[in-house]
């Protein structure tokens, strides 16, 4: 459908953590994702993901309009947050995803309205919304190295002024139930580590990474808990990315079908904490064309 205002893209960045993470969890799952990226009609969303996507787009439009107001430009260049949420299923190309999203629209709008009331008096200066950035992690981006990682930062804002101004990177997360485990999960997530890594380049001006939690349930809740400091994980990030990214890229460039990417058959990966891996049905029956393939022959580096 034709759009007469900006509808923000809140999707993943081109070379974001999600690709590396999925490959680390299960190379074959990344293989299925890679296939779906080349054929968007085969994409897949769980209801919780659809709900999160909708809340996310609502927040993006709320802060984009706030930025316009702060800078004296026209906020109506962007759809208002509720309209953006209602529009998203109508522009989604994948029919399955569109239907899944449509069901979640009322829940997402209710969560958004609660958010706007909860943070009605927050005082921040919005610097960027849904900004794609490149993150120079050593071991990625040099000659012969995997490409530099990218991230789409949901929101960048600053607080304070002059020498006291501090810049924060915000990531919106929706959940069915906020628990005290969330800051522990996300502190150790590569997505957040990458943002912290990026923040190091701001020196003293970096205020930190903000986990902006939204509980989407009968009772909505909102919190921004502090993340555990995890310097050990931060300094290890190049180690993790260097090795796994080389493997991932080699598989992607090999052109092998997902059935020939190594699976991780485990209740922790196939079943999972939420709804499990979306590709279980495929893996249940996927039969490689040649089970006796030789790694060097198909051009894929032999894993160490
Ligand atoms: S079902 Fe299991 S083995 Fe198959 S892609 Fe998913 S996580 Fe990997």
What are the residue boundaries of the structural domains of the chain, listed by start? 45-122
277 in ligand 1 pocket by Cβ < 6 Å? yes
- Name the stretches of the chain with pLDDT < 70: 1, 39-48, 272-275, 288-304
pLDDT given for residue 112 in this prediction:
98
Query: Given the CA of residue 272, which atom of ligand 1 is nearest to it?
Result: 7
To 5 degrees, how large is the angle CA 252–CA 256–CA 257? 110
pLDDT given for residue 304 in this prediction:
43
Closest by CA position to 188, among listed 223, 233, 226: 233
**What are the structure tokens assigned to 292, written together?**
């006796």
pLDDT given for residue 298 in this prediction:
47
pLDDT given for residue 303 in this prediction:
47
286 in ligand 1 pocket by Cβ < 6 Å? no
pLDDT given for residue 146 in this prediction:
85
pLDDT given for residue 40 in this prediction:
59
Distance 259 CA to ligand 1 centre (A): 10
282 in ligand 1 pocket by Cβ < 6 Å? no
């Amino acid at each position: 459908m034709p759009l007469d205002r900006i509808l923000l893209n809140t999707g993943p960045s081109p070379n974001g953590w999600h690709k590396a993470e999925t490959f680390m969890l299960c190379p074959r799952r990344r293989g299925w994702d890679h296939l779906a990226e080349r054929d968007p009609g085969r994409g897949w969303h769980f209801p919780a993901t659809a709900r999160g996507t909708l809340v996310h787009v609502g927040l993006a439009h709320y802060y984009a309009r706030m930025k316009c107001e702060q800078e004296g430009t026209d906020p109506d260049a962007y759809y208002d947050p509720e309209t953006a949420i209602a529009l998203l299923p109508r522009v989604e190309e994948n029919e399955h995803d569109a239907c899944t999203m449509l069901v979640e629209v009322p829940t997402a709008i209710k969560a958004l309205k609660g958010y706007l009331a909860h943070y009605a008096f927050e005082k921040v200066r919005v610097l960027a919304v849904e900004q794609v950035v490149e993150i120079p992690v050593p071991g990625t981006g040099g000659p012969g190295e995997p490409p530099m990682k990218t991230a789409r930062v949901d929101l960048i804002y600053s607080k304070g002024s002059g020498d006291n101004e501090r810049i924060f990177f915000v990531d919106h997360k929706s959940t069915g139930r906020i628990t005290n485990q969330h800051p522990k999960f996300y502190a150790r997530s590569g997505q957040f580590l990458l943002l912290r890594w990026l923040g190091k380049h701001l020196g003293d001006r970096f205020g930190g990474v903000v986990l902006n939690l939204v509980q989407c349930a009968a009772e909505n809740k909102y919190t921004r808990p502090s993340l555990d400091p995890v310097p050990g994980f931060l300094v290890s990030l190049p180690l993790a990315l260097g090795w796994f990214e080389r493997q991932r890229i080699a598989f992607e460039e090999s052109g092998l079908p997902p059935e020939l990417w190594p699976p991780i058959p485990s209740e922790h990966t196939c079943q999972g904490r939420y709804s499990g891996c979306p590709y279980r049905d495929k893996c249940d029956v996927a039969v490689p064309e040649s089970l006796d393939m030789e790694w060097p022959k198909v051009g894929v580096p032999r894993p160490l």
